[in-house]
Structure 1
Amino acid sequence: MNYRHAAFYRDGTRFEDYAPAIYLGITAQIENPGLVFDDVVPELEARYQQICSGSTLSWAQAACAAEAAWTRARMISGAARAAFESELARRRAA
């Protein structure tokens, strides 16, 4: 994801400002694949407060980056899972 072209990007911010939120979004999706983003927001907000040092963004400002990372991680993992299942089915049929 090129953060400067993302909908959440604000002029003057650096990748380092978004990095904690992006990290949280990705890891939360991996840890909670069956949930929706809104289900984990309270936990992410609390975790963000613990790891956001160096970021100039409040959670309210960073939450959009976390959600975008969550969505991207879900899309990628879903595509990988579908490819794996397709290959498995192909091998079983052979």
Structure 2
Amino acid sequence: MNDSKPRDANLDPITKAPGAHPVGTGVGAAVGGMAAGAAAGTVVGPVGTVVGAAVGAVVGGLAGKGVAEAIDPTAEQVYWKDNYAQRPYVEQGTTYDDYGPAYAYGVDAFSRYPDREFEDFESELHRDWGGQRRGSSLEWDRARPAARDAWQRVKENSGMPPSTR
């Protein structure tokens, strides 16, 4: 008898396709689509604004879903576990267990803020690091370079335009 639990397919609520990323979909809807749709709809008046925001939310949600699905957190974890020790900010005597949560935090940050620059939301990440560190010995000032490194890597691999800063 096989006692293993079935793997959650994380089905898309609309298409039923496996691997849905509700956070990415929500981010796309909230950030890009609604604003663009509302702005376009405003040209025809208040009703157009409401309709435009709804249509824009759907389009933006699909864009956000695409960004989130481009990120494979497991592959990122494997990459950083194999490569963290060569990074210039890694201090002697620390381990992957210290840096791993910061890398995961950076990957998650990109999935939440794919259209923003790291510096634009860093204060939020700093504020919330205590609840995300999962046993890491690093304070934010030492975790920040790893989080930013992971954020930058997934941004570059996602096809998003490079930073203008």
For 1:70, the equivalent position in structure 2 comes to 151
Could you list the runs of 5+ residues in structure 1 that have no partner in the other structure? 80-94
* TM-score, normalised relative to structure 1: 0.77
Deviation at 1:46, TM superposition (A): 2.0
Describe how 1:1-94 pairs up with structure 2 within 5 A: 1=80, 2-78=83-159
Identity fraction in percent? 34
CA RMSD in angstroms comes to 1.4
Listed one character per residue, the Cα deviations across residues 57-79 of structure 1 (whole Å, up to 9, x for unaligned) are 11001100001001001011117
Q: Which amino acid aligns with 1:37?
A: F
Could you list the runs of 5+ residues in structure 2 that have no partner in the other structure? 1-79, 161-165
Question: Which of structures 1 and 2 has the bigger CA Rg?
Answer: 2
Segments of 4+ moved more than 6 angstroms: none
* TM-score, normalised relative to structure 2: 0.45
